[in-house]
Copies of this chain bind each other. A is one copy, B any other.
Amino acid sequence: MTSSAANCPVAIRIQEDDFDIAREIAVLTRSRTDIGAVVSFSGLCRADEDSSKIAALTLEHYPGMAEEEIKRHVDEAMSRWPLNGVTVIHRVGRFRPGQNIVLVLTASQHRRAAFEAAEFLMDYLKTSAPFWKKEESATGTGWVEAHARDDEAAARWTRS
């Protein structure tokens, strides 16, 4: 899913393949001289999720809704901050500790907008985008439970 508005190209992809952060940043910034700040967030599979040892994580998503939900939040981010580009890539499938899961890239003239928009998007990806993690450990497999801290993180962005 790609779109463009107000000089802010948007790319949203859900894929099994890994991503290349340098390539994604190059796509966002090439031939442009109005971008002063690029923030990237990459989320990786860890071996230790809340004290249990993880052998692998499997990511499931709701095709169609996942892309649309991310798009809604990217649009919301673009309405809040003066952004010059946004890329969101969420991988699905089975991952080993150390592997990439998610990438959020934001570009802006100034760093504060890029930082805040990236954090906003990650907080909403965690709590609102239809993805679910199942973890495999020595004691079996189970679905990861949602964290109250993620709801609290997303609630920071609610406009009163």
| Contact-size category for A | 35 or more
A58 part of interface (Cβ distance < 8 Å): no
Closest to A153 in B: B112
A137 part of interface (Cβ distance < 8 Å): no
Cβ contact of A46, chosen from B25, B31, B36, B44, cutoff 8 A? B36
Q: Are A37 and B48 in contact (CB under 8 A)?
A: no
Chain B contacts for A21, CB-based, 8 A: 21-22, 25, 40
Q: How far in angstroms is the closest Cβ of chain B from A69?
A: 19
User: Which interface residue of A38, A43, A111 has the most chain B CB atoms within 10 A?
Assistant: A111
A35 part of interface (Cβ distance < 8 Å): yes
A–B Cβ pairs within 8 angstroms, 23 of them: A21-B25, A21-B40, A22-B22, A31-B98, A32-B98, A33-B45, A33-B48, A33-B97, A33-B98, A35-B46, A35-B98, A36-B43, A36-B45, A37-B41, A37-B42, A38-B40, A38-B41, A38-B42, A39-B40, A43-B111, A46-B109, A111-B122, A115-B119
Given contacts A25-B42, A37-B42, A46-B109, 9 further A-B contacts (CB under 8 A): A21-B22, A22-B23, A31-B98, A34-B47, A36-B44, A37-B43, A41-B114, A112-B153, A115-B122
